[in-house]
A and B are shown apart, each in its own frame.
Chain A
Amino acid sequence: MTISLAPETVFNIGNFPVTNTLTNTILIDIFVLLLCYFISKNIKLVPGIFQNVIELLITAFYDLTKNVSEKHVDRIFPFVMTFFFFILLSNWSELIPVLTAIGVERQGEFIPFFRSTSSDLNTTLAFALVSLTATHAMSIKILGLRGYLGRFFSFNILNLYTGILELVSEFTKIISFSFRLFGNIFVGGVLLSSVTGVMAFIAPIPVLLYELLVGTIQAAIFAMLTMAFMAIMTTPAHGTESHK
């Protein structure tokens, strides 16, 4: 068994490599599309069991976002909810037993067709970039360029120092965001395949349950951090507040 940090390429379209994490993403996309279609066709004022579950999930996140930032809830909520939902599906997709067993043997190495999207740094990096870009764009739109820059740059030496530190931390967030999710899910996949390699029956069940929990927690962490950063960045900083 070989462990590869990089996703395996299933096939190429010109220069573009279609990796097994990308195929997994397409699988999740199909599921999300079907869900959107099902919701938009079957939504009723008196909900059924399925609608109740969806409503429960959406209401929980909406209320939470509202508690954190009531003023900008409608802007922040779609990002938070989509991050949670997409990452959760991605994390859980590696736990579907048959899915990861489908693949091809290439040069004596087994290449699975599907691998959890979150166990690819390309994806987690993309998520981190979307999260932080959206946060900063939202901040500029709500606070204005002056208010946004005032958070990082000031004529006061102490404020300037903390502002620069904050600016640096914004870049480190990309790394922390992407590596945290990637690390947790990648390790989960490795652990699961190791245990399955040793004993295919019964033994993986506790690991599967543990990974189910880890997948949920990691999705929640990513969504919550995005929510917190967006709420912080859309609130005027102490220094800029006095100017308004």
Chain B
Amino acid sequence: MGILQTFGINWYLVIAQIVNFLIILYLLKKYAYKPILGVLKKREELIHKGLADAKKGEEALQEADEERKKIIKQARDEAHSIVDNARKEASMLLEEAQIKAKKQTEIMLKDGEEAIKREAHMAEEKIEKNIGKIVEEVVKKSLKDILSADQQKEILQNTMKYIAKNK
């Protein structure tokens, strides 16, 4: 007991200090440690989320880039095929037009030939029709002073006969 008195041990004071410490422990736990640790945890979660989002974003960007490249390649291929098709179609159209033109030319040539033939035939017929008159005129005008009217008539008749014979 002497030692306790020397050190001033008073059990009321010991209990008071225990109660005081427990109150401080409770207050610090509730109002300091919990909020601070909560904020630290929240911050850590946010950082993790941010990193995960950044990774996701990067992946999405990469995917979008790949998609873009794919679309460009597809568009380029399509453009190539369209141009090829157009070329083929154009050459086909040209070929067709050439054939058509050739055919039309042939038809036109044939028609022309036929028209010429027809014209020639008509001219021949016309000449044939008027040949008597022409011969009569030629004989009358060329033999007017040389031969008599009877001789002219005989020559004319003979010529007409010859023509009629060789028709």
Contacts and interface: CB of A to CB of B under 8 A. Distances in A.
Interface of A: 4-7, 15-17, 19, 22, 25, 29, 32-33, 35-37, 39-40, 43-45, 47, 51, 54-55, 58-59, 62, 77-79, 81-82, 85-86, 117, 120-123, 125-127, 129-130, 182
Nearest to B11: A122
Interface in B117-149: none
Contact of A125 (B5, B9, B39): B9
B8 A45 contact: no
Given A22-B16, A122-B14, A130-B22, A32 B28 contact: yes
Given A40-B31, A78-B33, A29 B8 contact: no
Q: In which size bucket is the chain B interface?
A: 20 to 34
A124 to B, nearest CB: 9
Given A19-B13, A86-B21, 13 more contacts: A7-B8, A25-B20, A36-B31, A37-B31, A39-B32, A39-B36, A43-B39, A78-B25, A121-B9, A122-B14, A123-B17, A126-B15, A130-B18
Contact of A17 (B10, B17, B32, B43): B10
Contacts of A81: 28, 33
Given A5-B6, A78-B25, A86-B24, A62 B17 contact: no
B1 interface: no
A37 to B, nearest CB: 7
Contacts of A36: 27-28, 30-32
A129 B20 CA distance: 13
B29 interface: yes
A78 B14 contact: no
